[in-house]
Amino acid sequence: MAHSKKKIGLIGGGQIGGNLALLAVQKQLGDVILYDIPAAEGLVKGKALDINQLSAVDGYDCRVTGTTDWKDVAGADVVIITAGVPRKPGMTREDLLDVNLKIMRDVAGNIKQHCPDAFVINVANPLDAMVYALQKISGLPANKVVGMAGVLDTSRFKFFVAEALNTSIRDVEALVLGGHGDDMVPLVRHSTVGGVPLTQLIAKDKLDAIIDRTRKGGAELVGLYKTGSAYFAPAASSIAMAESFLLDRKRVLPAAAMLNGEYGINGVFFGVPVQIGAGGVEKIHTVELNEAEKAELARSYDSVKKTVESVKL
């Protein structure tokens, strides 16, 4: 594959940041700038060097640069934000609001200054409120700013379904709508396996258990890791979105996008299927919902709205 000259800025050199850098290089999406604050200089420089040293094994020509200087991130085509604190067992994502908002203020200000033309993907929690703060502070066009969670939540849902049926994940079609919280909405009625409705394949009590596990998917990993949260699947989910933008794939992926009346919601970022291409969020798709699904989505929106309303910009 030809060497791409696209530039990918990764803000935060922790576990997700390192995995993002590795995936971006392995997919040859472009050259990577792995940024963190000066206290983490060794970490980002070390991860960059380590990944560069594996590039000969499979012949990757993309390079990673570890830096603590925003000037190196300047002009990035895509920026993925993982900077922030992960939750610990017993915490909710909302418990991170104050500490992560402080970090987001700085990050969003620097994106405004150094990467005003980038497509920006936020991973920091509480996700829907953080992406809202990011867009407001950076002033970037709303269609160039998204939150990652829908791809992650949908991927978890699909995995649990494939596992329950002992079937290939390739044939599982499913979608999770709504905020990245415990009241997210896995759309069972719209889900299929090889075209067969999910409701025909899995008994209701088992499906309810899968829905519950999906909703608490992040907390399950926090409970296992104890000192942090998920990092492989969040990284892969963000890279799928970055790839669709960089290669103008026009994939339809669930993302926290700014809604302008769709689903009866205005001016808030919320998880819905969107088309991502070279123009950023190019289309927002509206799924037809029945009354019960609408009620579930409204509950999820109420939670997101409550957190967004407590964001002091």
**Which residues here bind ligand LMR, judged by CB under 6 A?**
86-87, 93, 125, 152, 180, 217-219, 221-222, 229-230, 234
Catalytic residue among 3, 114, 180, 285: 180
d(CA 275, CA 250): 5
Nearer to ligand LMR, 7 or 158 (CB): 158
Residue with tokens 């399950």: 220
Nearest-approach distance from CB 202 to ligand LMR, in angstroms: 23
Instruction: Give the residue ranges of the annotated binding site.
Output: 12-17, 36, 87, 93, 100, 123-125, 156
d(CA 128, CA 256): 6
Nearest-approach distance from CB 85 to ligand LMR, in angstroms: 10
Question: Which tokens in the block code for residue 4?
Answer: 């791409």
Grouping H, G, I as helix, E, B as strand and the rest as coil, residue 30 is coil
d(CA 108, CA 110): 5
Question: Which tokens in the block code for residue 191?
Answer: 């889900």
Q: Is 180 a catalytic residue?
A: yes
d(CA 273, CA 241): 12
Nearer to ligand LMR, 115 or 124 (CB): 124
Question: Which tokens in the block code for residue 45?
Answer: 């420089």
Nearer to ligand LMR, 114 or 180 (CB): 180
Among all residues, whose Cβ is closest to ligand LMR?
218
Is 198 within 8 Å of 207 (Cβ atoms)?
A: yes
Contacts of 312 (CB under 8 A, 6+ apart): 101
Nearer to ligand LMR, 52 or 125 (CB): 125
Instruction: Give the residue ranges of the annotated binding site for NAD(+).
Output: 12-17, 36, 100, 123-125
Instruction: Give the residue ranges of the annotated binding site for substrate.
Output: 87, 93, 125, 156
Q: Which residues pair with 161 in a beta bridge?
A: none
Which residues are part of the catalytic machinery?
A: 180
